[in-house]
Structure formats: C-alpha cells, structure tokens
Amino acid sequence: MIKIHSWGSSLTDTPFRQEKGIQYFVKEGVSFTDESDADLIISGNLKQLLGIMLRHGRNKKYLLWSTEPRWCKHFEPRISSDILPDFHVMNLYTGIFDNNYLHLPVGPEISTFDRLGGTREKRIVSLMTYQSGPFWKFMHDGTDLDLCNLRTEIALEGHRRGCLDIYGRGWPGNIVVGESRATGWEEKKSDILKKYHFNLCFENTNWPYYCTEKIWHSIQGGCLPIYYGKSNKIYEDFPEDSFIDYCNFNDAGLLFDYILEMKQDEFERRMQLCIEAYNRALARKTEIKPYKKILQKTLLKFQSILSAV
C-alpha cells in the first residue's frame, strides 16, 4: 500500500483532487491519508512543499508535481540539499508529457470549414492576457524558453498595422476589442474565432510536448494558427506548411506581410492540412489516452521514490 498526502492549493486541478485521478490511484493500491500517516507528500508549489518538509524532515518522502511550466521550473528529477531532505520532481521538464494531446478537445472530427471567410471582419485575431517585461523571461542553458514577450510584441505590431484584433486583459490603452477568460469562455472564444481567418496562438513556454488547447481551438474555429513551432515537437503531428510558423520569419513585419499577401488557395490548402492533422490527433488521443498515461507514469514515480534507498 502506498500512502500519499496531497498538500496545498496548487494541486486543486490535478489528478490528486479530481475524482477520475483519485479512483485510478485507489484502484492501484494508493491510499490518500493525512500528512502524519503518509509515506509520500506531494505538492505543486515549492514554497508549500518546503513548509511541510520543515515539519517532517527526513521521515517522509516528497514529490513536487506540476503540469504548469511556470509553477515548477526544476530540470532535474531529484533535488538534493545539505540542509533539507531531498525532494523529487515530476513536471514538464522531467518528462510528464510525451505527446501533444492532453488538451486536445474531445471530438468530433472536423469535416469542413468556411472556405470563403463568410462575414469575417478582419483577418487576424489574438486572444490573450497582456504579458510583457523581464518577469516573463525564462532562461535555460542559454535559451529563453519564454514566448509571452514575443507573442505580445507580435500582437502589438499587428494592431499597429490595423490587421489584428486583440481580446484580453491588461493591455495598455484602449486597444482591446473585448474580454477574454470570462464565464463561458470556451463557447465565446469559438464564436470569436469564427469571425477571423488567422489566430496568433503561441504557447506561453517553448518546450517539447507543451501543447495546450491554443492550436487545437484555432483549427476548431476555422482559423489558420500562427504558432511557434521550433523545438516543441509540434511537427510530430503537423506537416510542414500547414500552420503559419513564426520561426520561418523571426520578424513580425515579415510575418504580417506574408499573411496579408496570402492567396485564398494557399489559405485553403494550409487549413485543410491542419484539419487533417487535427483529425489524426483525435484518433491518436483515443488510442494513447494521454490523461491515463500521466496517471500511469505518476504511479511509477511513486513506486520509484518509495523503493529508493
């Protein structure tokens, strides 16, 4: 029997608090108990984990578990200290994901799209909170993994050129068209995307298999994604010349020049390739079951930690 305790508010939307995850672990012989009785204490926040480590010292084993790239920035699976007990890490950077499908919406397949653009008012849209400045910089081995600053700069350039509408919070001045992340946001987002041809939809952080709903929602809404495709494994699911890859331009002006000069037949060809990639991904998600795969990998992590000397 493996006895675990999930600690802190950072685990609210994780398998340790969700019924589906709890049922899986219990079925596999994992018991959820209080911290005094637990063999392994889990948290998604280092500050919260350190607090409980100070209480129990080396009498317990500890795991920092997170799927959020900015909440847990450790790149090693085990962190040692002369003062505190070791703690283990399971996160984006130590291999919690090995595919792009966790945030892919549940069916159905896409059979067609509005090839003529219908009543779309403008061609490009961005739906995101304003994120800019040194706070977002995230260096690892000499490379900045952050895409927030770059994504913001591109959106502002598109707005200056009058070809991109921005939805979101915190933007300077009165440049936003509307809110984002409100109640019923997914349905509202879908309605917004249907008015446009292209969607600037970079991830927040560039790392292999960190793929959220952004590119998938864009395709669902009939928008050709403008994405950052370097070093993140997205091309395992998309062919070349499907979505618009900013990495082929590395300059916002050149990107918008290319998009605004794009002919309808190229848009349709690229969009069709994205739809085909989306439908293939749906089939792969059904086969791979990414959520269950994370649960299985997490259980193996428990076993490895508790069997280690």
State how many domains the chain has.
Answer: 2
**Structure confidence at residue 115 (pLDDT):** 47
**Structure confidence at residue 111 (pLDDT):** 85
**Structure confidence at residue 81 (pLDDT):** 87
What radius of gyration, in Å, describes the C-alpha atoms of the chain? 22
**Structure confidence at residue 78 (pLDDT):** 96
Would you say residue 104 lies in a domain?
Answer: no
**Structure confidence at residue 309 (pLDDT):** 63
Nearest one of 210, 219, 226, 223 to 275, comparing CA atoms: 219
Sheet containing 2-7: order of strands: 30-32, 2-7, 40-43, 61-65, 87-90, 78-79
Residues 142 and 20 occupy one common structural domain = no
**Structure confidence at residue 116 (pLDDT):** 46
Nearest one of 174, 126, 178, 179 to 153, comparing CA atoms: 126
Q: Which one-letter amino acid corresponds to residue 23?
A: Q
Would you say residue 233 lies in a domain?
Answer: yes
Would you say residue 87 lies in a domain?
Answer: yes
The residue whose two tokens read 């392994």 is 40
Residue 279: helix, strand or coil by DSSP? helix
Would you say residue 295 lies in a domain?
Answer: no
85 is written with which tokens? 């007990």
CATH at residue 193: 3.40.50.11660
Residues 128 and 92 occupy one common structural domain = no
Q: What is the pTM of this model?
A: 0.93
Q: Which helix (DSSP H) or strand (DSSP E) does residue 216 occupy?
A: helix 214-220
Per the structure, the complete domain to which residue 231 belongs is given by: 124-288
Stretches in the chain below the pLDDT threshold 50: 115-117
Cα separation, 231 vs 269, whole angstroms: 24
69 is written with which tokens? 């790239």
User: How would you classify the pairing of strands 61-65 and 78-79?
Assistant: unpaired
